[in-house]
Structures are given as C-alpha cells and as structure tokens.
Chains A and B, each alone.
Chain A
Amino acid sequence: MFSPRTTKPTFKSYLPPVQTDGKTSIEPPIRKLEPTLLSGEIVVNEANFVKKCVSAEGSQEDLWGKLICTNFKVSFIPQDAPLKPKSQLSHLLLGEHDIPLTCLDQVVTVNDVKGKKKVLGSNQKLKFNPTELILYCKDLRVIRFCFSEAGPDSAKKVCLAIAHYSHPADIHLLFGFEYQGRRYHQAKEEGVSGSTQRGGLQTQRFDRPSDWDREIKRTGASEWRVCSINKKYKTSPSLPENIVVPVSMMDRELEDLAANFTDSRLPMWCWNHTNGSALVRMAVLNPLQQKKTEQKFFSAISKSHPQHTEILKVDLDKSLPNIQDIQSSFIKMKQICVLEPFEESEERWLSSIENSRWLEYVRAFLKYSAEVVYHLERKNVSVILQEEEDRDLNCVVSSLVQLMLDPHYRSLIGFQSLVQKEWVMAGHRFLDRCNHLKKNDKEESPLFLLFLDCVWQMMNQYPAAFEFTEAYLTVLSDSMWIPLFSTFLFNSPENRAQHLLEFAKSKAIPQGEDQAVFFPPVWEWAQQFSTKDQTLFNNPLYVGKGATRFQNGEVKTFTRSKKNYGSINQGAPSSVRNGVRGGEDTLSRRSSLMSELKPDLPTVKDESPSEHFFRDWFSRPADLQGLLIPQLLPSHLSLWKLYFLRWVPEACIAKGGPITAYHKLSLLMNEIEVLQNQLRQYNRTSMESASLSNQSGSLSERGRMYFRAISAEDPPVPPDFLTSSFPFSAVGNLCRRGSQGTPVSKFLNGAKTWLSTETLDDTV
C-alpha cells in the first residue's frame, strides 16, 4: 500500500533541517518540483521543505513541498501529487496552490517561538527568522505556510521576496505587461491572430463611436448623439473619448461648459427607456456656475425627451454610504466570515452580519436604484445621477438601474457590455479601488464587489432572469486580482490609453493594433478557462426565451414589453425628497418593534407613489424579459454565501447546496438539447438536407451545460465532489486560528452544548 502518508516520515528524515539548499540533494524517488511558468515569468526566490497548512491545527493533511515566488505569483508545489479527483474549476493560468501577487492583501510573517509577528511591506527588513508565513488574500483566502523544516535563511528570503514583489512600484511592473507583450509576439510568430476572442469581441467595449451609436439605436434614443469633443481626452481626462449628449447641444457649447464640472465631467448619457426618458450621470458643478450650467443641460435633456418632461436630479452622495463606509463594512464582513475562529462567529452570527452593515448597504443601493427605475418607468422623467466625481456610486446605481430595466443586460454579453460602459469607460478608478499597487489604503473600496453582490441578490430572487450564474459573478470578482487583463487595471480610459501606448511602444507592437488584441480584457474567458469550464457560467434556467433565441441563432434583439400601469390612480403629489426616499432607512437603526405591530386599519398607512408602484408591480407575475424589481424587505436579502463562505469548511455542505439543484437542472436542460438535436436529425432525414449536418453537429457538441445527462463521466446522481462551495474548494484555502472540529465531533467529545439559561420547569 502506497499511501501518501507513509512517505512523509521518510521524506523528513532524508533531509536534515539544517540543509538550506535542498535542490541538489533531492533523491531520485522524490519528484522534481518545477513550477509551471507563464511566458515571461521568472522565479525570484524559493524555499524547500515548506509545509502548507491545510487545516487549522497541524493535521496529517498538510502538504509538504516547495514555496516559490515569481514575478507573477506565489506558487506552492506539493511533494505528493494530489490523489483526489479534480473537484474544482481549473484555471488555465494558475495552479491549485497559486496566488497572484496582486491578490495578496497582507503578507504576515510569524515567529511563534519568539511570539513575534510582522506585516511585511516592500523593501523591508525582517529581524527574526519566520517560522510561519500567512498570506491574506483579496479573494478572502487565508493561506499559511510553515517553515519548521526549511532553512531559516531561505524562509526569510522567500518571505521578503513575496512582500517586495507584491508591492510593485509602478503599474508597468504588474505581470500582465510582461506576459501580454510576449504572448502577442508569440501569437504573431505562430500566425495566430490574437487567439480566441469570441466572447471578448462580442462584448461591446464602448471605446469606439460605433458602439455608442449602436446603443443609441438599440434603445431608440433618437434625440441623443455621439460627441467626440473629448477626443484625445482634451476635455476631460476621466471621461471616455466618445460621450453621448443631447442633440440640441453643440460641441462648442459643451466645451465651454465642461470646465464647470468636477474634472470636466459633463453629463453623460447612459441609457434610454422606450418611453423616451433617459438616464444620465454627471459630476458636481462648481457652485458659482451651477445654476446657469444646470439650466442649460436640464433644458437640453428635457428637449431630448419626447414629452419634454421635467427632469429629476438625484444626489447620490447624500443618501448612500460612501466608499469608506463600504470599505469598512467589507473589512468587517471579512472578519466575521473568514478571519474569526468559527466558534466565535457562530454564537452571534446574525448580529455580526448586522453589525457589518454590508447587507444594509446592498439593500440601500438596490432600493435607491429601484426608486430611480420608478421615475424612469412610471413617472416617465429623465433622471440625472449626480455624484461628487461621478466615478463610484454612480457606477453602481446606473448599472443596477439598467439591469432592472433592460433584459439585454441580463444576458452574458449584455452584462459585460454594461460593465464596460458604466465602469471601465466611465472611469471607475479600478487601479485605486483595487489598490493594485498597495500605495494608498484609503482609496481602496470594494464597490465593484458590492455591485456584483447586488446583482447576485437579484439573481437569487429571479433565478431564470439572468443568462449567467453566481459562479460567473464569483469568478469575475476573482479576476480583479489577476493582473493579466486590461479591464481592472486602470483608473480611467485616458489612464488606460496612455499606459497601453507606452506598453505598445516598449514591446514593439505596431501602431494601430487593437488594444484588445495585445492587452485583452477579462471578457476573453478562454484565456482563463477551458470551453467546458466556461459552461459553468451558463444558467440552465435561462430558457424562458431560450427557445426563440435558439431558433434565430442570432444575438437576440431587445424587445421591451410595453406594459402600462395606467390603472394606478394618481395620488397626492410625490412627497419624495430629492426624488428618492430611503435615506432615512439607511440612517435609522432599530426602530421599535412594538410600533410596527400596531394594527393600522382602517387608516391605510400612507404609501409613497413609488411604494404603490412597486406593490402594484409585485402583485402581477413578473415578465423576466421586461422590468425586474428586486424585493427589498430585509428577509428578501441573503448573504452571498458562494462568495463570502466558499473557503470556510464549517459552512460547506457536502453533496448539497444550490449547486445540486444546478446539477439537476443542467441534466434536464441537456436532455432537452439532446431531444432537440434528435428532432432536428429526424426533420433533416425527412427533408434530405444533409448539408446541414455539420452545423448542427458542432452545436450539440458545444453543449450549453457543464453537467451532461448522457455522458460517461457524469452519472445522473450528483457526483461526490459537489459541495456547496463548488466550483471552489473549501479545503486548504482557509487557515485561521483554532477552528477545530465539527459540531458533531464536539458532541462526541461531550464538549460544550447550549446550556439552558431559561426556565428549568421541565416536567411537563
């Protein structure tokens, strides 16, 4: 019997701990531990005989191997090849034990003998020999390495190297610049043009006027035009080169007025409702010029509305949490979900969640967005979202509003286009908010994650409305920490253009080459995942209109249902403050329970017009291809477990969780696909049109579903590896202090159970 366990002692005894350079003395039976390197990736430092802790307190499952720091990642190569079958998404560029340097949040070295601990930055000295290295990752993993058997010197060196290389002095030191340069030239040599770009290309990037034109046409915004006064970013450094403005405004006028806005960020059109209302975003104005400038824009925007209705300006800064609030809330969530020992968070789980205020913020953003939807949809007025810089909260709200109103954005390609339009091109400071260079912690804030959580909440409430899955959202959030794609690396379109220009020059990339070819966006998923693994992004339930889509074979066209809610009696004039209620909800904590319970008949509680609108909308069956409003009672919001708890072993449900329903649904969908294919086959034989056979062959081969109904490797029962953390693994990715044992083993040890603190009258 060759179990991996038995080799361990031998492995240790071979090699005395004093040995610092183990490389030369490795005996033949021991596998040579070579890192998998990407092109341009180099090993900076490494240490042998390192133990990766798999569970909290030194267990037999811990892995021994080599710890490597490259210019891209921290890599660990275990001595014993893994025995378990593949149970998670395999990344094409990263191994199971790899962490990109950009993903590191904190590098902490510990000497447990001396009781010392130090958080390492760039170019720092370490006065003690580390016995442990703990890596806190931005994707919430906590990875711990032990150096008990490694040479103290090499341990120290590798720690310092990791700390140093995870604090790049300059954006060009992010590995993507090296990698994509080489990749481009390799592809050129091999005569492949930019590899597989399907998904990448279908996603509109909004870096060309034509993308905006198409969007104007798609939404029927005939009174709006693409304007290129920001060509070469000469008007505003943070706006895209092309912005959409009212047709009634001339370029000259816009140029004159631009300076009155923060950062010269003119009002920028986002989206049009079929009723003519537009969604516009802008920064704040210089107070001296405010009145005059506003008047000009408001009247132009009003002119672009078919009914020339009033417009509504809402101030997001006043009613929503700011970026620091969001960041500190997220830090608390991290604390509760992954950092605190399980037993401590267990007892007061719900109040801890409450205390972080994360769900409250998620709800506030959804609620705010729903209010904006009410004004666009029901009140038929154009809405201007205003925020100090128009680069943070506006991104969240404008994209949520569009997700609720426009089913196009609930498709995969549509969603990616939305992120391009409202985040990447609108100048969300990804570089600062992600803190890729670890220069300024104050600028760091997980706004994009907050947005993804809001999307997840909607997905959770309307599981058939989105083409993509929560696995997709999670993988997308993880991609923020892989510096190989251009999407999340820059602060603004200008910032991007400038860096990519320099990059192209330095790598001898010919002028005029498409950015997406030499520095691809994250939407080119084939770079990260196999075609099969990408099918995990497909929602099997998204078939409500799949039938039509299937027949057309084309990208679906956007048909908005023209629902009229005309039956609603116009009540008293809107009492809404600044258009949006809900501010008070974010601010008021605990209201009295009793006051809530007072019966309130017959005086029906005053209901705001928007509440009335929502209630009316909820009282009808939802049209998933139309307007979608999230339910906003606190009980409707849940914790996004796949994101927050995927690494937490205590939260993992073996062979359970939503993924098992996904599995079953995938099988059923796959069966339908098979049946449809067979039908087509029959039709074809009867029609004798053999020429089509290839086409349909490739179609069925692609298969939309990750799990197949009829396939040798996929049995009809959920495979054993399915856990609620799938496609991620709750094993070995979270090493926190003293979390030992499951609740049941606690029982078996007769350990603590709840003792009654209440009545002892137990003789009933």
Chain B
Amino acid sequence: MPIRNKIGEMVENVRLLERSCGQRKPSVGTLYLSATHTIFVENNPETRKETWVPHSMVSGVERLPPSPTGSQLILRCKDFRVILVLIPQERDCVDIHASLARLSRPEKYSELYCLSFNPNVNKEQREESWAFVDLAADYRRMGVPNNLWVTTAANSEYRVCDTYPSELFVPKSATPAVIVGSSRFRSRGRFPVLSYFHQDTLAAVCRCSQPLSGFSGRCQEDEMMLQAVMKSNPGSDYIYVVDTRPKLNAMANRAAGKGYENEDHYTNIKLQFIGIENIHVMRSSQQKIVDVGEMRSPSMTDFLFGLENSGWLKHIKAILDAGVFIARAVADEGISVLVHCSDGWDRTAQACSVASLLLDPYYRTIRGLMVLIERDWVSFGHKFSHRYAHLDGDPKEVSPVLDQFLECAWQLSEQFPCAFEFNERFLIAVHSHIYSCQYGTFLGNCEKERRDLRLREHSHSVWPQLWKERSQFTNPLYQTDLSPSQGVLRPNTSPYCFKLWKGLYNHTEKSMPPRQSPADFLSTVREESKQLEEELTNQQERLTALTGKPITWEKVAVPRRRRRTDCQKHGGPDPPATTHGRLISGPDGQTDRKAPRKDPALTLPLRDTDDFSACSDLESGVADLSSRSSSGGDDNKEAELE
C-alpha cells in the first residue's frame, strides 16, 4: 500500500512492539505520522510489514520517562490493541507524542478521516452506498404501515424531537395533538414510537424516553399516547412499560422532575424495571475487563476474580435479560412493550435491538444486523460521536453502549451456533468501524446532525463495504431454514452461559493463526463437497453421453419451504402492498443475485431435497440413481417428489 497521505513527521530506527498481539521481539523500522494515520514500516526488506493505526482509533498516548535505549511511547487503541514504540531520540518522542495527542483528539468533524477518505468511487456509487440500507423497506418487511401503525409527519424537519428521525411510526389513533403533547412530557421530546412490529402476534416494541413526571406530574396526552399504543395491539388489555434502569436510579430521577410512569395515572400498564446500569458504570466495568484481557501471565485466580469483579458479564446479562423480557412479552404473551431509560438512546437502544434479534430471524443475517443497527441506533439518535469519542469532548459522555449490544449478539451466537448468518469477525469489524471514523455511517449524534453535516455528500456508508467482504463474515453453520414461528430465540441467561469474548478482549490470540473452530473446518468441508458435486456433474454428463438421453435429475428443484413473508397473518393489519416485493432494494442488486453462486453449500443439490420422499435412506437413493440411469426415466422422479 503506498503511503499517499501527506507525511507530517517521520522518525527512523524506531522499534515497535504490538504487545496486545503477544509479539515479543520488537521490529525495527520507520515511524510516519500522516494527517490520518500513524504508520510503521518495518525495515526488514523481505517483509516490509506495515502497521497502520488511524488517529481516530487512538484512545490514549502515553510517554514514559526516557531510558538509555530511548523513549517509550504507548498507544492505546479503541479496539483494545496496545502498541509500544521505542524512539531513539527523546526529542523525537516528545514531538510525536505532542502531534499524536493532538491528532487523536480532533475538535471538529472536518478533521475526521471519513471526510478525507476517498475510496475511488464516483458520485452515483456514493449515493448508492447510502441507499444500501433502506429502513422504509424494513418497516414494510415487518408489515407497517398498516391499519394499526402509520407514519406521522409530526417530526418532519425534526420539529418535535430533534434527536429522532423524521420518518416515524405511531399508533393509528395517536393524533398530532397527542404526539406533540406526549413529546412535551418526555425527556428531550422523545415520545413513544414504533421500533419493531411483530406480525405473528401484532404486538409491538416501542421506545421513548423517561416521562417528566417528577413526584406527581401527569400529562393527559402522554396517557392517551400509551393508551393508543395498547389499542394498536387488538385483543390486548395492557402494555408493559419497561424501564431498563435500576429502580433506585429511576426513583432518583424523580427528584429532578423526571422518573417513571405512575401506575395510578396510566391505566392498563405494567411497569417493569430491569436494572441495566448507567453509562458511567459500564465505562469503568469495560476498563476492568480490558485489563483482564491484557494480563500477561495471569493465574486462574487472577483471571476468574478479574472477570467476576469487572462485573462486565453481569451487565451483559442484564441487557440480554431486558431483551428476553421484551421478546417473551411480544412473542409469547402477545403484549406490546414500551421501553425507555433516561433519554432513551442508550439502554433503550440496547434493549430494543436485542429484542429484535431474539424475535426476528432476519436480524440474525448479515444484512439484517446492518438494518437493525441502522434503525435502532443510527436513526433513533444514539449519540455515536459522544459515546465513541469521535471528537475531543467530555470523557464522561464516552461509554461502550454499542459494544455491549454487539457482545450480546456474540453471546447469543455462542449459545446458538447455527442461528446467525454472521460470525464473530463481522461483529468485530462493525465494532472497529464504530470507532474508526473511516466511514460516515456512525458520525454525529442524530439524523439531524448528519443532515446538517451533509455527510452523505462528503463521506461514504460502511455497509456496502462490509457487504462486499461478507464471505469472510459468513458463519458456515448458519441454518437458513429456521421457520419464523420457531425463529424466536430463547437464550439461557443464567451466569453459566456467559463467557469472556476473547475475540475482542483477548488480543494475544490474534497473533496466532486462527485456532481450530468448527466454522473454519466447515469451510474445508464445503470445498470438499463442492468438488464432489462437480465430479458428480461430470459423471452425469458422461452418463448422458453414454445413454444419449439428457439427464436432468440433479436439477430437480424441490420447492423450498416458503419464507415467512408470504404467510398470511391472522386477521390483524392490512398487509402493505409491498410485502411480497423484494425485501431490500439495495444498490448492488447485482452482487445480491450473484450471492448464491458464491455459496457452494447453498447449491448442494442434496441440500434442497429434505423431502426427497423416495429416498428416505441412503440406500434407496443409490438404488434410484442406478435404476434411473438404465431407464432414463426422469419424469417419474419429478412425480415422486411432488
């Protein structure tokens, strides 16, 4: 890779040690400081290995007192890598430290990498990249708008709530007056809106922020709003209001004129506290678990105590518990849930997105997870730039909120190894892009801010890039044909079932070649089956040549069971006209169509023959082939398969 960025500083004879990679011997080379990256190029002429660290990934630079061999600089990265650099001259070290300290703390958006990053694409492609994830299509997929949930123009031009998206779904019976009234009674105007609609039960997951109730305040419109949410779920006579905070925290907020819904004022609500801690607790907990991952040669005691004392897994459990509660209510009880925390952009986003992950198999696909993050996090005003320290700002605003959601997905994939289309690498890739600022997707704190920054004109969306690399993000164990009714995940959230996410926190592993995971082996197996398949086709062709009759049996397509979109839901909402259409109209329809061919496992002829009724065992399958090869009667086969 040519170093095309403007070189700012350059120091030779630098020794680098990427400690988090378990590397022991420092490599000697040259350190460059560009406008966007710290680059280290090894001297070794054979390898010339380059290490690039975007400034936006640097969470801290530390200079140690000089020693006879030189001065040490420690770079701590937001993806938990730790890089040590030994610079011969103290003066150079001071300079680099000063520059990096400045470069890693940009003060303006314009300084960020994504606004200078230009991956050689034209305007159309850039615009297409932004259209890759289409939220309207996802709402259509889940069956809204319908006669229960409708779009509202209330927030066009972000008039009612500046941290919400302009496109919102609300209960059909909620009038603009109710919406506006309710928004005045909620922190930051974040009134109850739809997050996910569950077609099977007609129950919905809704989100908002805490009410400004204090000790006795009430608001008629807000009460009507919650009533409207309940009414949009025909047949139910209450809703759950999930306050994801610990009850003590929620009570403390009442003193500040905020708090939680008073069950005496709202009819037909059931209030439930979950107990997810606030961003400050999470920040310090993550630091503790990072420390555990960084321990050099810990004893079993160090490790287990460290893990328990960090409290991290307990917090992950609390978030997953919130998701499980919501998913149970929606899928099993058919009761709608309104979720909030304080401002409704951290814990609420976590709880809602975990619930969607549990409820709908679509969000467990690669594309589905992109859509989910785009909806529950990006569009609903999760404060990315504050939480992930894109700009130099209040360190108290920083917290690993989305990290925790990604970890929930990972913990779930450990419990259900076949339920997710993506693998751990995908989650880690998303994680690093949240921090890297290479793409504009996660920049800013809400939709309005992104619009004002005109990010779509000046930067690119990360999703098409990740989609392009999806072959390395695919879990070969993914079981595609989980039917939707069975598709609700019911994880176990007892502490037995949580473990340290080594892939993220234990970087020492990364230096090693990928260990033996079933998935890696499956890729080999896939390759093997592909070869067999080809050989089979060859043999068939030979046979065709011998018998003089075309043999088409391997093409016999047994109709796969149809996916959920085609099922008619019981009564309920009018199905929107587009339900049957393409779910996602991505800009790269082309790659989309190519996908099956790239995926040998999906084209295995035998894969599709689960109702190969004539071949209930292996033997008859073999017998069939031989008998057919002599008679050449393919038509029989067709008939049998029906």
Residues of A whose CB lies within 8 Å of any CB of B are 342, 346-351, 353-354, 357, 359-360, 363, 461-465, 541, 543-544, 547, 585, 588-591, 593, 596-597, 599-602, 604-605, 607, 615, 618-622, 624, 631, 633-635, 637-639, 641, 645, 648, 650-658, 660-661, 663-665, 668-669, 671-679, 681-683, 685-686, 697, 700-701, 703, 708-712, 715-718, 724, 743-744, 747, 750, 753-756, 758-764
Q: Give chain B residues whose Cβ lies under 8 Å from the Cβ of A671.
A: 529, 604, 606-607
Top 3 nearest A-B pairs (CB, nearest first) are A634-B303, A756-B246, A354-B304
Q: With contacts A615-B24, A716-B481 known, is A634 near B305, CB below 8 A?
A: no
Name A717's contact: one of B486, B493, B506 (CB within 8 Å).
Answer: B486
Q: Give CA–CA (A658, B418) in the complex, Å.
A: 9
Q: Which of B138-146, B172-180, B520-528 binds A?
A: B520-528
Complex contact A619–B418 (CB within 8 A): no
Complex contact B296–A710 (CB within 8 A): no
Q: Does B52 sit within 8 A of A, measured CB to CB?
A: no
Complex contact B301–A756 (CB within 8 A): no
Q: Does B182 sit within 8 A of A, measured CB to CB?
A: no
Q: Give chain B residues whose Cβ lies under 8 Å from the Cβ of A639.
A: 496
A462 closest partner in B (C-beta) = B516
Complex contact A710–B609 (CB within 8 A): yes
Which B411-444 residues have C-beta < 8 A from chain A? Answer: 415-419
Q: Give CA–CA (A692, B419) in the complex, Å.
A: 42
Nearest CB of chain B from residue A46's CB, rounded to whole Å: 38
Q: Give chain B residues whose Cβ lies under 8 Å from the Cβ of A634.
A: 298-300, 302-304
A594 closest partner in B (C-beta) = B291
Complex contact A615–B417 (CB within 8 A): no
Complex contact A353–B606 (CB within 8 A): no
Complex contact A673–B618 (CB within 8 A): yes
Q: With contacts A674-B618, A678-B625 known, is A653 near B492, CB below 8 A?
A: yes
Complex contact B417–A674 (CB within 8 A): no
Q: Which of B127-135, B275-283, B453-461, B572-580 binds A?
A: B275-283
Q: Does B621 sit within 8 A of A, measured CB to CB?
A: yes
Complex contact A463–B618 (CB within 8 A): no
Q: Give CA–CA (A630, B125) in the complex, Å.
A: 48
Q: With contacts A619-B512, A744-B325 known, is A761 near B418, CB below 8 A?
A: no
Q: Does B641 sit within 8 A of A, measured CB to CB?
A: no
Q: Does B542 sit within 8 A of A, measured CB to CB?
A: yes
Name A637's contact: one of B70, B300, B417, B609 (CB within 8 Å).
Answer: B300
Complex contact B249–A756 (CB within 8 A): yes
Nearest CB of chain B from residue A637's CB, rounded to whole Å: 7
Complex contact A679–B536 (CB within 8 A): yes
Contact with A along B347-388 (1 / 0, CB 8 A): 000000000000000000000000000000000000000000
Complex contact A753–B273 (CB within 8 A): yes
Complex contact B477–A709 (CB within 8 A): no
Q: Give chain B residues whose Cβ lies under 8 Å from the Cβ of A754.
A: 246, 275, 314, 318
Q: Give CA–CA (A605, B84) in the complex, Å.
A: 14
Residues of B whose CB lies within 8 Å of any CB of A are 15, 17, 19, 22, 24-26, 64, 67, 69-70, 72, 74, 84, 86, 245-250, 252-253, 256, 258, 272-275, 277-281, 291, 293-308, 313-314, 318, 321, 324-325, 328, 342-343, 396-397, 415-419, 477, 479, 481-483, 486, 490-497, 499-500, 502, 506, 508, 511-513, 515-518, 521-522, 524-526, 528-529, 532-533, 535-536, 539-540, 542-543, 546, 601, 604, 606-607, 609-610, 612, 615-619, 621-622, 625-626, 629
Name B305's contact: one of A543, A547, A590, A756 (CB within 8 Å).
Answer: A590
24 A–B contacts from the bound complex (CB under 8 Å): A465-B516, A541-B525, A590-B305, A599-B19, A601-B26, A634-B303, A654-B490, A654-B492, A660-B417, A661-B417, A668-B526, A672-B532, A674-B621, A675-B532, A675-B533, A682-B542, A685-B543, A711-B617, A717-B481, A744-B493, A754-B275, A756-B277, A762-B278, A764-B280
Q: With contacts A635-B502, A747-B321 known, is A353 near B525, CB below 8 A?
A: no
Contacts across chains A and B counted by CB atoms under 8 Å: 335
Complex contact A718–B418 (CB within 8 A): yes
Q: Give CA–CA (A639, B496) in the complex, Å.
A: 9
Complex contact B342–A360 (CB within 8 A): no
Q: Give CA–CA (A16, B173) in the complex, Å.
A: 62
Q: Give CA–CA (A652, B294) in the complex, Å.
A: 31
Name B416's contact: one of A589, A656, A685, A712 (CB within 8 Å).
Answer: A656
Complex contact B275–A761 (CB within 8 A): no
Q: Give chain B residues whose Cβ lies under 8 Å from the Cβ of A708.
A: 617-618
What 4 additional pairs, Cβ within 8 angstroms, besides A601-B86, A673-B618, A744-B321?
A463-B517, A590-B305, A633-B303, A686-B542
Complex contact B497–A593 (CB within 8 A): no
Q: Give CA–CA (A717, B480) in the complex, Å.
A: 9
Q: Give CA–CA (A652, B343) in the complex, Å.
A: 36
Complex contact B298–A602 (CB within 8 A): no
Complex contact A711–B506 (CB within 8 A): no
Complex contact A744–B525 (CB within 8 A): no
Complex contact B518–A661 (CB within 8 A): yes
Complex contact B296–A596 (CB within 8 A): yes
Complex contact A678–B619 (CB within 8 A): no
Complex contact A655–B490 (CB within 8 A): yes
Q: Give chain A residues whose Cβ lies under 8 Å from the Cβ of B481.
A: 716-717
Q: Give chain A residues whose Cβ lies under 8 Å from the Cβ of B528.
A: 543, 547, 672
Nearest CB of chain A from residue B27's CB, rounded to whole Å: 12
Q: Give CA–CA (A243, B308) in the complex, Å.
A: 49
Q: Give chain A residues whose Cβ lies under 8 Å from the Cβ of B272.
A: 747, 750
Q: Give CA–CA (A648, B495) in the complex, Å.
A: 13
Complex contact A764–B279 (CB within 8 A): yes
Complex contact B606–A710 (CB within 8 A): yes
B479 closest partner in A (C-beta) = A664
B478 closest partner in A (C-beta) = A664
Q: Give chain B residues whose Cβ lies under 8 Å from the Cβ of A761.
A: 278, 280
Q: Give chain B residues whose Cβ lies under 8 Å from the Cβ of A686.
A: 539, 542, 546
Nearest CB of chain A from residue B90's CB, rounded to whole Å: 14
Complex contact B606–A674 (CB within 8 A): yes
Complex contact A641–B496 (CB within 8 A): yes
Q: Give chain B residues whose Cβ lies under 8 Å from the Cβ of A681.
A: 622, 625-626
Q: Give chain B residues whose Cβ lies under 8 Å from the Cβ of A709.
A: 606
Q: Give chain A residues whose Cβ lies under 8 Å from the Cβ of B324.
A: 743-744
Q: Give chain A residues whose Cβ lies under 8 Å from the Cβ of B297.
A: 596, 633
B516 closest partner in A (C-beta) = A462
Q: Give chain A residues whose Cβ lies under 8 Å from the Cβ of B479.
A: 660, 664, 716-718
Complex contact A685–B629 (CB within 8 A): yes
Complex contact B525–A672 (CB within 8 A): yes
A603 closest partner in B (C-beta) = B69
A648 closest partner in B (C-beta) = B496
Q: Give chain B residues whose Cβ lies under 8 Å from the Cβ of A593.
A: 291, 295, 302, 306
Q: Give chain A residues whose Cβ lies under 8 Å from the Cβ of B70.
A: 602
Q: Give CA–CA (A323, B460) in the complex, Å.
A: 63
Complex contact B516–A464 (CB within 8 A): yes
Q: Give CA–CA (A554, B253) in the complex, Å.
A: 74
Complex contact A607–B294 (CB within 8 A): no
Complex contact A621–B518 (CB within 8 A): no
Complex contact B280–A668 (CB within 8 A): no
Complex contact B308–A763 (CB within 8 A): no
Q: Give chain B residues whose Cβ lies under 8 Å from the Cβ of A711.
A: 616-617
B494 closest partner in A (C-beta) = A650
Name B84's contact: one of A462, A599, A716 (CB within 8 Å).
Answer: A599
B620 closest partner in A (C-beta) = A710
B539 closest partner in A (C-beta) = A682
Q: Give chain B residues whose Cβ lies under 8 Å from the Cβ of A622.
A: 513, 515-516
Q: Give chain B residues whose Cβ lies under 8 Å from the Cβ of A717.
A: 479, 481-483, 486
Name B496's contact: one of A349, A655, A679, A683 (CB within 8 Å).
Answer: A349
Q: Give chain B residues whose Cβ lies under 8 Å from the Cβ of A660.
A: 416-419, 479
Complex contact A657–B513 (CB within 8 A): no
Name B529's contact: one of A349, A652, A675 (CB within 8 Å).
Answer: A675
Nearest CB of chain B from residue A124's CB, rounded to whole Å: 37
Complex contact B492–A652 (CB within 8 A): yes
Nearest CB of chain B from residue A649's CB, rounded to whole Å: 10
Complex contact B397–A764 (CB within 8 A): yes
Complex contact B619–A685 (CB within 8 A): no
Q: Give chain A residues whose Cβ lies under 8 Å from the Cβ of B302.
A: 590-591, 593, 596, 634
